[in-house]
Amino acid sequence: MVQSNTGQLFTVDPESGVASEIDLGGEAVPMGDGILFDRGLNLWVVQNRLNLLTRVQLDPSLASGTVVGRFTDETFDVPTTVAPAGGGFALVNARFGVEEPPPVPYWISVIRRPG
């Protein structure tokens, strides 16, 4: 899980509920929102107001990880969650702060799997 305000990542033991921080070696994923544990040991973190999808490569113990890439797309407008979509990802845009009167357009950004 991610703590949005600090950008820290945690594993949680489903039996005990105990959370343990994942050491990112000084990196963080602030404004982290949706996360997806993908093929291998990739953790994808949506950083909503930063309009980023960040890839964290976790070590097999899940105790540490390395931020290996931060990606954006021109269609992102405060994405909040991520799901697999074909060979890529679908990200739902929350569009926080939009002041247009209803109906306000919303969309899902579908992107190729980055790097």
95-106 per-position pLDDT tens digit:
998 888 888 899
Return the SS3 of 50.
helix
The whole-model pTM stands at 0.94
- CA end-to-end distance (rounded Å), the chain: 23
- Average pLDDT value for the chain: 96
For residue 115, pLDDT beyond 90: no
Predicted pLDDT of residue 41: 95
Q: CA 40 to CA 48: how far, in whole Å?
A: 24
